[in-house]
Chain A
């Protein structure tokens, strides 16, 4: 029998989904690898018997003494020790021992792993990182795992655990690390050579080390990792098992839809697999052997996939407001999805300003999005992307979300729109735009007077309207001048702007489109301002206060 025995022995620690553990055991047995199963003590006797009868008697199969292995407890190490000792004792031909769990899944045929181990007969595959560099630890202690006492269970007695750690920090209690050991940590799923494992198990100081490690936090991530550094001849500090942790340090589960991703891994096993992932189990345990072409390993692709997902969970997508993302008003994230430009008063100064702007910048230029009668989308559209309606009532129900929706639905296209004191000036909206880093806001104060000149109506009506527009404009400018403003804001009075209109306009447009476009299209012609001075004089003489007019004379 031993002539056929493969050089790899497998230890499987299982506590749930015994059906899957049996499948895994069969997979390794078929490749003539000896298997030792450790079934957790919490598994009922009936389930254990069912597993045993399911597997039947097999010359290469053993069951190791059962322990109750809670997460991160010393018994996990104990179970691994006993199971590997049993394996080494009963199967002398075994050269490497692989520690795996019932929710690990081999990603490649057993022969591939055997060949890999044959090529590296002296190498221990164990992730073992010096604690001074272990910055990958998520959600936990690093060096203090080795220097504090941990009498309480982290999962069940969290409060006591935390207080106990606090107290020891305060009292500066420190345990001494036994002499030749240099603390290392890493993934608890390893593959060690017989020589190293033997040395660890028969170390004369074993009891002394064990007494120390029993008090450690999560010893299954440090016991073998530290001792391997002491005994191994050649360590490849990389686990053969692919594990992807989330930000709480818990392993992500793999499901059926990860099949193609897992095929691209350069690891030999992966964990954790969702026990009901039928497609994964049937593919990797049987189908794959049927001669599918192997895929080129692209581990970076797997990393990127998980990094992107993690980023989406933690940072979210900028500018998105939805049922499960509703950022705090002062959260550090960008408030809107894409850059946009707001122009106040420009349509009164230049002819066909919106058309020209569209030509030069290639951006989408709308009319007055917040006009009182309706939303003036580009080209007078009734609905815009995302089925955003042009109804003024819907927009005014939540003007801020109207804007964020528009920017989200049209991203990354730049949106430009006209916005003046004649529009619905909602306070929250003005403040939102002023404090949004994506906004570029350019204001010509008093330009509305040019518009008022052309508007129909008697002078008395115009004076009344001028008062309203002036107040609205003041509110708008006040928001923009706040010290909390984050938008790119430019404000000129009409007189200032008219000193050099083309230079001022070029300055804005350059930020959007660059020099070349500007050179090609030039600056739009100014509107004729005939009769503006007499118009202002007339208004003043009929009672319009001088401060309204003072910024407009040019």
Chain B
């Protein structure tokens, strides 16, 4: 449960985080030289932008573009981190993309966040932006009938600059490599199971954000060390300002006030979900490669055991897994909320 900080400590944390914010922004500017513009697209003033760091995701790109275009994203800004499978050429062939390339280390740029911070500083001031990985599909209440401009109009009216959307990890029934997904088809047709209610939430006072953990990865790979399970908090839709910086992937942002996307008075604010399609059949193959690269988030050593486990293509499904049906189901389960957006 939430317990507020004493006012003095609140101010002290604010002060500390102000400096952290400036430091991270300076760092992002310093890292800018790692990026090379490969293709500049044209974008309108009021466009909704999408920022994405990508590497070897050729099987996901088609559906990713299709999904977000349907939502109303008008311009995509990609950072291609040295793809070798044709992802880069594919992205450059699209009409509504801007593509940057880099060969620098993903890990050394704080897992792409320095690059994203810089590009958002450069392109995104005042615009509504989606920040998502290639394996993350954003859904929110009414998303099928109300595209992003409807949502951002409403959020503007509510003076809420951020939409939280926790990662919801989808997995197949059976071994991970059993059911391949054809490029350009909906991955949620193959990955159609999820964990409905085993998430733990901790309030982090320093950033004033929530730390959500749990789901199939915690249940299966981190059952003996749940504190190491991946963070599921995400803030993928934001009205950007040049003051902002991402701290820790898109889990948390500075200034601190932007992390307060949750109601503490018992009410519900609006929230969505990022459908995480990591566990497509190719994840098994990729686990071996990723382990060798050692560029994973957090302590890479800790993840070795995890990669070994994934490489054995386990079955994440259990008897109480829930079959994915849509946002109405997620809302009924209490994973997302319409929060007054009737």
Cβ of A328 under 8 Å from chain B: yes
Cβ of B44 under 8 Å from chain A: no
List the count of A-B residue pairs having beta carbons below 8 Å apart: 189
**Which residues does chain B contribute within 8 Å of A310, judged by CB atoms?**
340, 342
Known contacts A325-B262, A383-B318, A394-B218; decide if A316 and B268 are in contact (CB<8 Å): yes
Cβ of B69 under 8 Å from chain A: no
Q: Is the CB of B201 within 8 A of A394?
A: no
Q: Is the CB of B340 within 8 A of A387?
A: no
Q: Is the CB of A257 within 8 A of B146?
A: yes
> Whole-angstrom distance from the CB of A274 to the nearest CB of chain B?
6
Least CB separation from A400: chain B residue: B1
Complexed CA–CA distance, A493 and B225 (Å): 39
Complexed CA–CA distance, A163 and B261 (Å): 30
Known contacts A322-B337, A389-B219; decide if A316 and B267 are in contact (CB<8 Å): yes
Number of interface residues of A (CB under 8 A): 55
Complexed CA–CA distance, A391 and B227 (Å): 13
Task: From the candidates A250, A323, A393, name the one contacting B261 in the complex (CB within 8 A).
Answer: A323
Complexed CA–CA distance, A70 and B219 (Å): 55
Q: Is the CB of B271 within 8 A of A323?
A: yes
Least CB separation from A252: chain B residue: B342
Residue in B146, B147, B225 whose Cβ sees the most chain A Cβ within 10 Å: B146
**Please, what's the 1-or-0 string for A370-399, where 1 marks a CB less than 8 Å from any CB in chain B?**
000000000001111111110101100110
**Please, what's the 1-or-0 string for A216-238, where 1 marks a CB less than 8 Å from any CB in chain B?**
00000000000000000000000
Task: Pick out which of these stretches binds chain B: A60-68, A401-409, A437-445.
Answer: A401-409
Task: From the candidates B216, B226, B340, name the one contacting A397 in the complex (CB within 8 A).
Answer: B226
Q: Is the CB of A313 within 8 A of B267?
A: yes
Q: Is the CB of A386 within 8 A of B267?
A: no
**Which residues does chain B contribute within 8 Å of A256, judged by CB atoms?**
145-146
> Whole-angstrom distance from the CB of A326 to the nearest CB of chain B?
4
Complexed CA–CA distance, A244 and B322 (Å): 35
Which residues from chain B sit less than 8 Å from chain A, CB to CB?
Answer: 1-4, 142, 145-147, 149-150, 153-154, 157, 164-166, 195-203, 210, 212-213, 216, 218-219, 223-227, 233, 261-271, 318-322, 334-340, 342
Cβ of A43 under 8 Å from chain B: no
Q: Is the CB of A324 within 8 A of B201?
A: no
Task: Pick out which of these stretches binds chain B: A104-112, A329-337, A468-476.
Answer: A329-337
> Whole-angstrom distance from the CB of B270 to the nearest CB of chain A?
6
Known contacts A255-B146, A313-B339; decide if A326 and B264 are in contact (CB<8 Å): yes
Task: From the candidates A305, A317, A326, name the one contacting B203 in the complex (CB within 8 A).
Answer: A326
> Whole-angstrom distance from the CB of A20 to the nearest CB of chain B?
14
> Whole-angstrom distance from the CB of B100 to the nearest CB of chain A?
31
Q: Is the CB of B201 within 8 A of A326?
A: yes
Q: Is the CB of A408 within 8 A of B197?
A: yes
Q: Is the CB of A328 within 8 A of B318?
A: no
Least CB separation from B319: chain A residue: A383
Q: Is the CB of A309 within 8 A of B342?
A: yes
